[in-house]
Amino acid sequence: MPNVLRWLGSAVKGIRSFGYRVPAGRPIVGVALGGGFARGIAHLGVLRVLQENEIPIDLLAGTSIGALVGAAYAAGTTLDELERQAIVTHFRDFGRWTISRMGMATNERLEGFLRRFTAVTTFEEMKIPFGIVATDIVTGHTVCFTKGPVGPPLRASCAYPGLFIPVEHQGHMLVDGFLTEHVPTESLRHMGADVIIAVHLDPGQPAQRPKNTIEVIGRAFSIVQEQTPPRWLRFSDIILEPVVKDIHWDDFQKTPELVAAGVAAAKAALPEIRELLKRPVPGIRSEREQTIQLPAAATATAAPAATAAPALAAEDIAAAPKAPLTPE
């Protein structure tokens, strides 16, 4: 029996290796899907345009709602099915109010919600190499999951601090990935992407006063982020920003408008994306087919956002989009 299990494991790895190859001379393209709760439905419009125009997606990574959309898409769920489900989604589908010192709700239902779309339960089964980004609330580090079960990392990436209880997984106490990678571009670079298409959902600055605890928390995070240029910007080759500012963070019924916003942003960026695909690749990769190899460890922990990497240049700071945060 042990020999059979080892053979099966090798067979699965072989299948993944065969499926995760990139033609010679073409850069490895990664798509980073940012957080934004219901506004993340705009990701479906972006993915549809890329798919219809045969823009390759060799790697995919998601934060928060981007992790949910990315997991379903990487597993092979059709965009039509994702749109049908999005418009009938409610908070009770993935969240349950509870009494806890660590949060007001649990998102344990999120794992069952994903099973509505796919029977895939591990990263190894994904049709597209995929990473989920969460934040270790103890260390302040990013944790990117690319191996093992999908459910716990997905819940962690969507565990908005103050609303959802943190998720304990693989020795980490985890919360929403937006705290360290609002758009998971840095994790995509570590996964091996040469060209990164970042999808950023900027909700703008709400004019009305916050009406409940969650909106107060969200506004507080927005104010903090406005004081610091976003780190994810430096790892992006092109940034798509669907116009979703007028749509409330939990308005899933606005699915058609959100998808249309994603479509418009992606279509406008197509010429620039096609130019990026012409970027030369280094050395022997220009002559031979490439095989994507994800990090060997189940988790890859990046340095804290406050200390890693050199400071942004003045021109980057001036150009950095401001991104007020809302519940993811």
Pick from 68-77, 91-100, 238-247 the range whose average pLDDT is largest.
68-77
**Distance between CA 275 and CA 273 in Å, rounded?**
5
Biggest CA–CA distance in the chain, Å, is: 64
Residue ranges of E strands in the chain = 21-22, 29-33, 59-63, 96-97, 105-106, 130-136, 142-145, 167-169, 172-176, 195-199, 238-240, 290-291, 299-301
**Distance between CA 196 and CA 181 in Å, rounded?**
14
| Helices vs strands, H then E, count in the chain | 10, 13
Q: pLDDT confidence of 205, banded at 50, 70, 90?
A: low
- Please report which helix (H) or strand (E) contains residue 91, including its range: none
- Residue of higher predicted confidence among 235 and 311: 235
b/e code 33-49 from CB counts within 10 Å (16+ = b): bbbbbbbbbbbbbbbbb
Report how far apart, in Å, the C-alpha atoms of 4 and of each of 7, 13, 15, 125 are. Answer: 5, 14, 16, 19
Please give the model's pTM, rounded to 2 decimal places.
0.82
The answer to whether residue 64 is catalytic is yes
Active-site pick, 58, 136, 176, 194:
176
pLDDT of residue 194: 94
User: Strand 167-169 to strand 172-176: parallel, antiparallel, or no bridges (unpaired)?
Assistant: antiparallel
b/e code 150-181 from CB counts within 10 Å (16+ = b): bbbbbbbbbbbbbbbbbbebeebbbbbbbbbb
pLDDT of residue 123: 96
Q: pLDDT confidence of 88, banded at 50, 70, 90?
A: confident
pLDDT of residue 233: 92
pLDDT of residue 28: 94
pLDDT at 286 over 80: no
Mean pLDDT is lowest, of 128-142, 213-227, 286-300, for 286-300
Q: What is the mean pLDDT of residues 221-236?
A: 78
User: Strand 195-199 to strand 105-106: parallel, antiparallel, or no bridges (unpaired)?
Assistant: unpaired
Q: What angle do CA 23, 26, 27 make, to 5 degrees?
A: 120
Mean pLDDT is lowest, of 86-100, 210-224, 251-265, 294-308, for 294-308
- Residue of higher predicted confidence among 96 and 198: 198
DSSP for residue 256: H
The answer to whether residue 157 is catalytic is no
Q: pLDDT confidence of 121, banded at 50, 70, 90?
A: very high
What are the structure tokens assigned to 319, written together? 């150009």
pLDDT in tens, 37-63: 889 999 999 999 999 999 999 999 999
Please enumerate in sequence order all residues whose Cβ is within 8 A of that of 24, keeping only pairs 6 or more positions apart, or say none.
285, 286, 287, 288, 289, 290
pLDDT at 301 over 80: no
| Burial class of residue 242 in the structure, from the number of CB atoms within 10 Å of its CB (0-12 exposed, 13-18 middle, 19+ buried) | buried
pLDDT of residue 95: 80
pLDDT of residue 99: 85
Active-site pick, 58, 64, 236, 237:
64
Q: What angle do CA 274, 200, 107 make, to 5 degrees?
A: 130
% of the chain at pLDDT higher than 70: 77
Q: What is the mean pLDDT of residues 264-284?
A: 88
Q: pLDDT confidence of 135, banded at 50, 70, 90?
A: very high
pLDDT at 11 over 80: no
**Distance between CA 299 and CA 292 in Å, rounded?**
17
Q: What is the mean pLDDT of residues 91-95?
A: 80
- Residue of higher predicted confidence among 306 and 198: 198
pLDDT at 149 over 50: yes
Chain mean pLDDT for the chain: 81
Q: pLDDT confidence of 320, banded at 50, 70, 90?
A: very low
pLDDT at 207 over 70: no
